Amino acid sequence: MRINRLDINNFRCFDERSFTFHERFTLLVGANATGKTAVLDALAVALGAALIPVPHALSGSIHHRDVRRTYQQIGETGHFREHYPARIEAHGSIEKHSVIWTRALRSAKSRTTRGGSRAIREAMNQLVQGSASHDDVLLPYIGYYGTGRLWREQRLLSEGGIDPARRSSRYVGYQNCLTRARRLDTSRPGSSASPSSRLGEAPSQLSRPSFVLLPIASKKLSPPISISRRTISSSSSRPTGFRFVH
């Protein structure tokens, strides 16, 4: 599974923007509040459509707080206006088949649509149905590791964050896989495993490396947000860049 292009409309800080991703590596560089995390979250929303057919998985959605807002001055007062619809369209492939799918929030009273994501849902559902009866069917690995994992941990269940009743399921690796603050490991609290070793263990319930979002430390802040496919020289240690590993 991969995403080649992402079209964003009225999502967070973006009015209308398209991003094309390199087949092997993409680095986003920009100053604070220019939309780097917004791009990652938009990708997570798009990928969430693939999780709709997966048992126990959270597919995510576009929240009303994600809708782009602009401030309008009226006389001596003003207010923020929400711009609907918020829309995310992804162009990619799964099992070598090209697919285009859309997720949207059309109004303040609506929920994230599912109709536009039929192509990716059906493709993933075929894998899920096949894996239910054939152990040799490979499932794609999907993971989102945000910087929030460094200082904020989700509340874990009694045994390492994995529900014992679902431990034998092949789909357990998809639980919260697109939650930014998710721990990288499934070990008990207090484990001495290093972050690098936990990262290697995280996808153990799945079979095929496929789509990973990782924050990295880039150095030079250069607004506005841009995409680079080459080495970025830098002089600051802030974690401002992100890479997409397919």
Q: What is the distance between the alpha carbons of residues 28 and 37, in angstroms, rounded to a whole number?
A: 9
The model's pLDDT over 174-198, given as tens digits with 9 standing for 90+, comes to 888 898 764 444 333 333 333 333 3
Is pLDDT above 50 for 53? yes
* 127: number of Cβ within 10 Å: 20
Q: What is the distance between the alpha carbons of residues 231 and 38, in angstroms, rounded to a whole number?
A: 22
Average pLDDT over residues 131-142: 86
Total tally of structural domains belonging to the chain: 1
State if pTM tops 0.75: no
The number of residues in the chain equals 246
Q: What is the distance between the alpha carbons of residues 7 and 14, in angstroms, rounded to a whole number?
A: 10
The pLDDT value given to residue 163? 58
**Helical H runs in 7-52?**
36-48
CB 222 within 8 A of CB 232: no
Average pLDDT over residues 236-240: 41
Q: Which domain holds residue 128?
A: 2-245
Phi-psi domain of 95 (left: phi exceeds 0; alpha: psi -120 through 50; beta: other): left
